[in-house]
Amino acid sequence: MMRTHTCGELRSSDIGKDVTIAGWIRFSRDHGGVLFFDVADTYGITQAVYDPESITADGYAELGDILKTFSRESVIKVVGTVRNRVPGTEDCRNNTGEVEVLIKTAELLNSSKPLPFEVAEQKGSMLPSEDLRLKYRYLDLRRHVMAENLRFRHSVVTSLRTALNSRGFTEIETPMLVRSTPEGARDFIVPSRTSPGDFYALPQSPQMYKQMLMVGGMDRYFQLARCFRDEDSRSDRQPEFTQIDMEMSFVDMSDIQETIEFMLSEMWKNVYGEELKTPFPRVSFYDAMHKYGTDAPDIRYGLELHDVTEIVRNANYEIFKRILSKNGKVECVNVKAEYTKGGSEEGGVGRNEVDRLIEWAKSQGMGGLTWMRMTPEGLQSNIVKYFSDDVKDALVAEMDAKDGDLLLYLAGSEIAALKAGGELRRKLAADLGLLEGKPHQFVWLVDCPLFQKDSATGQIEAFHHMFVCPENMDLSGEITDIRGLSYDLVLDGSEIGSGSMRCHDPEVQHRILEMIGMSEEKIQDEFGFFIEALSFGAPPHGGIALGVDRLISLLLGCESIRDVIAFPKNKKFQSLVDGAPASVEEEKLSELQLLSLAGEDFDDSDFEE
């Protein structure tokens, strides 16, 4: 028997029991010949004591000599008796803190080399660099918070599965070795040995497979699906990630939204023991962009953007005039006085803070940022002289400005002003601590366009992806006015999922591919099999996929999704724990009839026959 109890189990009700525990020596100290060991496993920490004052049996002295040689993080098995700790030495932060195990015998199960960093969590201890944590990920996982992250993830995923099971969904595994199809991002490809010169791709999502499952009548599908995107590494992306992917037939948008709300609220009950308020608020794409300056709005605080372009059009302020003459816009945010209580003497966002905001706005590519403060005498600032009383009154009315409020103005092209406004909201909310204690908030983003124009090339592309069903199956009219039946799920200002009704009509699907500029040859080559599938009686269907890594990291408040993934890649897409990617033997490449050109000066002699 390796253990009778884990290191998190013993309580004062166990006093007097003979027990066996096993774990890592997280900490040890010699207190005048009495040896104390913190024996840790993932469930907790139990104090084991070698106490020659309590035990005088033959060989006990020798045991003490041996125990002293055990290094930290070595694995030990202890047989002993549970007893009370000496009064005054209890550790009330620890569930096992009232008791200790008096060591009778102990055995070293494995020793540990000195660690590259500290595993025990101690007050004020700094985390090692992330590269070191990733290289020795298994040691990082011994830290309680990391293990808890993975267990939290498991309990969330389990709850999501249980909820979908209760609604009659079938989890179905779709293939990982698929056909390469452009779906927005770059594919990872896998050379085929049995068909040299051909390649599989790793799926960016199971999109076409789940749609074919609907054509096949599977009705309600879900999957915890691993997906792969070889994107240029942005802030917090992984080349492989997990989504909870689902699809339903014979439904409309609201059925799918309700299902997701049900799934998440069931999870909420299980994980937090609380009700999640449903239905989630719906925000249209237009409102999201115009009120929140983003397609992933955080509605947990105010600071909404107001388009004051028409109000300030007649002001005599040169900067605005110049921007408005180029069809620009002026967006205004009201930093309410109550947001800034307890801040600087001027009410939280004082002159210095405003100056810093101006610098920040420049760093965002804006010309700057203009401000006015509401006082009992009306709006005040260094530029109010350029604004007539009428304009000022209209601004006060539009922004509902009260005494102490600070109005911030961003001016520029519409998209630049809105985007900067969105960033300004985020920054202010963080700086002013507006999110402290705020519960999580899900929002549906709806009424998105089906297409968008690439700003650089003018090329029409799918706003989400090419499988979204147009509203009323109607593709007529101005192309950028066509709406798609889509719904993104946003949590706390981050998009965590994207869903839509799908195009189940093969002709409409074909037309969409044409509209995004695909040649007939390309359509047939890459999507021919899929359009054919739709032609054999595809039911109306739709679905959604939620990013699990992102969802979990938002719920846990982690800085990075890497903290909720057991073995993540770093920003260069390297796995530091095993050294992947790595070189492979020439033989392997030649079996695949591939030649690597990387890192070599080209040498013709390699190709002599």
Judged by CB under 8 A, the chain residues 226 through 285 that form the site for a copy of itself are: 226, 228, 230, 233, 239-240, 242, 249-252, 255
Q: Which of residues 414-453 bind a copy of itself (CB under 8 A)?
A: none
Contacts within 8 Å (CB) and 24+ apart, 137-144: 137/566, 137/567, 137/576, 137/577, 138/577, 139/115, 141/566, 142/24, 142/40, 142/42, 142/73, 143/119, 144/42
- Minimal distance, residue 207 CB to a copy of itself, in Å: 12
Q: Which of residues 536-575 bind a copy of itself (CB under 8 A)?
A: 536-540, 565-567, 569, 572-575
Q: Is 112 in the site for a copy of itself (CB under 8 A)?
A: yes
Pairing of strands 220-228, 170-171: parallel
Q: Was 151 annotated as part of a binding site?
A: no
Q: Is 147 in the site for a copy of itself (CB under 8 A)?
A: yes
Q: Which is nearer to a copy of itself, 143 or 440 (CB)?
A: 143
Q: Was 549 annotated as part of a binding site?
A: yes
Rounded CA-CA distance 380/343 in Å is 19
Pattern 496-515, a copy of itself, x by CB under 8 A: --------xx----------
- Minimal distance, residue 38 CB to a copy of itself, in Å: 14
Contacts within 8 Å (CB) and 24+ apart, 283-290: 283/443, 283/444, 283/445, 283/446, 283/490, 284/445, 284/446, 284/447, 285/445, 285/446, 285/447, 285/448, 285/449, 286/447, 288/445, 289/418, 290/418
Q: Is 477 in the site for a copy of itself (CB under 8 A)?
A: no
Q: Was 547 annotated as part of a binding site?
A: yes
Rounded CA-CA distance 56/230 in Å is 65
Q: Was 183 annotated as part of a binding site?
A: yes
Q: Was 229 annotated as part of a binding site?
A: yes
- Using the rule CB under 8 A, which residue among 137, 290, 329, 426 binds a copy of itself? 137
Contact between 211 and 467 under an 8 Å Cβ cutoff? The reply is yes
- Using the rule CB under 8 A, which residue among 57, 127, 145, 189 binds a copy of itself? 189
Q: How far is CA 48 from the centre of its chain?
A: 40
* Residues ≥6 apart with Cβ < 8 Å to 160: 244, 263, 264, 266, 267
Q: Was 464 annotated as part of a binding site?
A: yes
How is residue 258 written in tokens? 């309700």
How is residue 405 written in tokens? 């409020």
Q: Which is nearer to a copy of itself, 152 or 386 (CB)?
A: 152
* Residues ≥6 apart with Cβ < 8 Å to 120: 26, 27, 38, 40
- Count of residues touching a copy of itself (by CB under 8 A): 124
Q: Is 208 in the site for a copy of itself (CB under 8 A)?
A: yes
Contact between 292 and 298 under an 8 Å Cβ cutoff? The reply is yes
Candidate ranges 185-193, 322-330, 335-343, 378-386; the one touching a copy of itself (CB under 8 A): 185-193
- Minimal distance, residue 78 CB to a copy of itself, in Å: 12
Pattern 63-102, a copy of itself, x by CB under 8 A: ----------xxx---------------------------
Count other Cβ atoms within 10 Å, centred on residue 129: 10
* Residues ≥6 apart with Cβ < 8 Å to 579: none
3-state SS assignment for residue 403: coil
Beta strands (DSSP E) in 336-447 are 370-375, 378-380, 406-412, 442-446
Candidate ranges 48-56, 60-68, 152-160, 367-375; the one touching a copy of itself (CB under 8 A): 152-160
Q: Is 105 in the site for a copy of itself (CB under 8 A)?
A: no
- Using the rule CB under 8 A, which residue among 13, 105, 158, 459 binds a copy of itself? 158
Pattern 519-538, a copy of itself, x by CB under 8 A: ----------xx--xxxxxx
Q: Was 563 annotated as part of a binding site?
A: no
Pairing of strands 442-446, 282-284: parallel
Q: Which is nearer to a copy of itself, 262 or 360 (CB)?
A: 262
Pattern 323-362, a copy of itself, x by CB under 8 A: ----------------------------------------
Identity of the residue numbered 59: G
Q: Which of residues 19-48 bind a copy of itself (CB under 8 A)?
A: 22, 24, 40-43
Binding site residues, as ranges? Answer: 183, 229-231, 238, 464, 495, 502, 547-550
